[in-house]
Structure 1
């Protein structure tokens, strides 16, 4: 068993990939093609800061040998993040690669100005949605209208300069997966090998390793004792702790806001219920008013009719007593109507 630095840390990963032999080994295994020549491009390394989430970006110009023996120059865009991040960050950087004039070979070898084919590699410290394979390949195909493959002798430079393949590594799913050469190499990312209480260091069994695997492990053994790398890992931990603390605070605030919104919604529903009850009461009162108005109208109508009949009976010379008896009312009611 040997102790190595944890390459999920940006500082360790950068140290590992700066070794050309190790970079060739890792990239050849990922591409499943021999990397003949490799040149690390000047890159913008976005390390951990108090304002940015950690994301490692390294670009390589690689000369590779294809399955048919042809030689091809490609651009490898390698991005690594240990935190869940928006895909917009990846898209922005990928977009900058497409418009970078440095990625267009000289006109003497590229008269039509085609850009270098791009292969994007994403090493993620988190899981994707439904995909549970540790390594996912996204490869393009040339198809006709009926989805039949179109056979070409060589890839079309126009298509190759405008589209790209991708390779995605999900570190959490590497645990216990050693089914092929690539997965054996990627075991150095398996976080289950971390030493207890020290995520900076991993303990790896080097027995039975092939030469290429041993070269990768040896580079990480050196990183584990490199003072600058160790300091950078400490800084990454501090910043990650701040990010986690910030995210926890935001999560708690969001929870408080959610609870407050729930209470406000409940109050709103109660007020709506009260409004509905009041509206119903208003409707009932309006109904009562309408009924009373109708009763008043009926009474007025009856009173007017009785008054008219009394007047008629008076003209006929009938006495008040006889009129009251004829109309089936009391003498007092008759007097009231005469007023």
Structure 2
């Protein structure tokens, strides 16, 4: 039908039937992100649990970030199913997956803010009374607070959503015509996204100023790795959150503009969701973690090689035993 409009009380509504459906592409990307995230964060957890000291504050933060990414990752196959087909999992699962989605999102940003504050205290506030024990306690309290706050914040989102029919397909989401839901979401995103972003920018401005004035290369590397992790989060999630604010204000636009807007929205969504599989790649900037990962794979190869050697030796012993037994039988027959 192209650009067909209906005039009702000076309000133009465009009925667009030929808009390119980007949702199918998004669903495929969600499945790929799920696979890479499970593999990457799973390996990262193995390295941390087997080779790292979890009493270290930084390692504790990284461990919780990996768990946060995995909680978020669990929801991706469900959103992919909705994109490729429609929501088939019922109302209860809709609420559970929405809660897990926001728990993963909120806990990530709270943990990143805590990591930034930890770096700020360590690098900038040199005379602050902080030792390893206090840093460990701060990390434990911050991680616990991140999970409690994110779970509490996700409950309101989970209560609002429901699996309902819009025309024919069943979708999982909040009622689109409820202004209170939109207002609550805007307030929550402002508090749990833009406020931490403002805090992180201020802290890292002071951190970078201090680091550039020092000559400690080790401190340089640590700050660069953490900065890359924080920057990746906001580069991935920033455009998507901005898009969520823009969408409600573009109700009366042409079909071509609406198509471009929806394509941009889906691209920003894919970029945001891909963040859960980026952290393991960024952690590999640390040489120590790369060595642990190589050691993890080499130990597995050695184990398989040793297992193969044992199997081969057992086969040789069996053959030698068989040959000896046959020789004894032949000697016995000749003596007869």
**Structure showing the higher strand proportion among its residues:** 1
TM-score band w.r.t. shorter chain: under 0.3
TM-score scaled to structure 1, two decimals? Answer: 0.26
TM-score scaled to structure 2, two decimals? Answer: 0.26
Which entry has the higher C-alpha Rg, 1 or 2? 1
- Higher RCO by CA contacts (8 Å cutoff, separation 6 or greater): 2
